[in-house]
Amino acid sequence: MIENQKGLDALDEIMAVPELDMIFIAPTDLSANMGLHGQIRHPEVLSKIEEAGQRIKRFNEQQDDETGTIAVGTLALNAEDYMYWRERNFQVLCGVAQCMFVDGAKGLMDKIQDYEQSR
């Protein structure tokens, strides 16, 4: 798990660890480390995560079949985040149950409100 600039700076050394399966870039911690606490979609934070993903992809392209590849992951709080990171070839996307529950409850309440207003 990479949570700060120091981890990003050490990415080459991290990728060189034998039998490493995945690198997860933690946007909440990274944003705080960058002085952008909680701004996980700030352009500078996104840029750092995207750059790391591209470096991991290039590393994987240089590996042979025996060495294997390293999956890259990050946080996806909603469907838009999921699509954004999948378009950038991130393979592991972790959600937050609280966000899913809140989104689900909001969707339910919106439908109930629409129903009640149409009566």
pLDDT digits (tens, 9 = 90+) for 47-70: 999 999 999 999 999 987 667 799
Domain span at residue 62 reads 5-118
Question: Does 89 have pLDDT greater than 90?
Answer: yes
- Give the model's pLDDT for residue 98: 83
Could you give the percent of the chain with pLDDT greater than 70?
A: 98
If pLDDT is split at 50, 70 and 90, which confidence band does 104 have?
confident
Are the C-beta atoms of residues 25 and 49 closer than 8 Å to each other?
A: yes
pTM as predicted: 0.83
- Give me the CATH number covering residue 33: 3.20.20.60
